[in-house]
Amino acid sequence: MKKSEKVSFVINKLQELYPVIPIPLDHKDPYTLLVAVLLSAQCTDIRVNQVTPSLWELADNPKDMMRQNVDDIKAIIRPCGLSPQKSKAIHRLSEIIMEKHDGKVPETFEELEELPGVGHKTASVVMSQAFGVPAFPVDTHIHRLMYRWNLTNGKNVTQTEKDAKRLFPRELWNDLHLQIIFFGREYCKARPHAPLECPICSKVGRAGLFK
């Protein structure tokens, strides 16, 4: 199967399996999404969604959040892991949003990535899900599946993102990155993995591995 045929197959299968695409992290605006994505680093979306209601009761906007004590933020988000770093980042980015961006989450990759605790992946999620800008955030699921489907060499997430953007139509990026994540969680887990039973790996898996 040619690579272009693999790409078409993947797109069609994911659309068939996930015609409606929910947003994994509960949020109500760009700010709460930004904080939720930051919390999701090395933590499950389920756990983040369990924690954020209490955090929003404390503060659900940058003006109120910057007025909170970092220790109070840390106590609430402790179940998400890395709470010392994340609480400081949430507090400081809230200050910066108020000081430099008039209380609004910035709408460019560059400005988002200048915020504490916000890397390229977090910025990409916010740009795509909050502002509708085409982006392809690569998490462990996407990195794993793109390699299994022989659509990237698997060296690093930066290369995987480049390959995904090169292979998939730009207008589909925002849907596809979520569809691949859901597919990885449901059908194509890291372990155990049964390639011949996987709806996509069984058709487009790496040559020699899934026969």
Q: Which residues are catalytic?
A: 121, 139
Measured distance CA(113)–CA(11) in Å, rounded? 30
What is the biggest distance separating any 2 CA atoms in the chain, rounded to whole angstroms? 59
Euclidean distance between CA atoms 99 and 94, whole angstroms? 9
CA atoms of 144 and 50, how far apart (whole Å): 27
Buried b (16+ CB within 10 A) or exposed e, 100-121: eeeeebbeebebbeebbbbebb
- CB neighbour list of residue 190: distance below 8 Å, 6 or more residues apart: 140, 144
Q: Using an 8 Å Cβ cutoff, are 184 and 142 in contact?
A: yes
The letter for the amino acid at 48 is V
DSSP assignment string, 18-35:
-SS---SS--SSHHHHHH
27 and 131 Cβ atoms separated by less than 8 Å: no
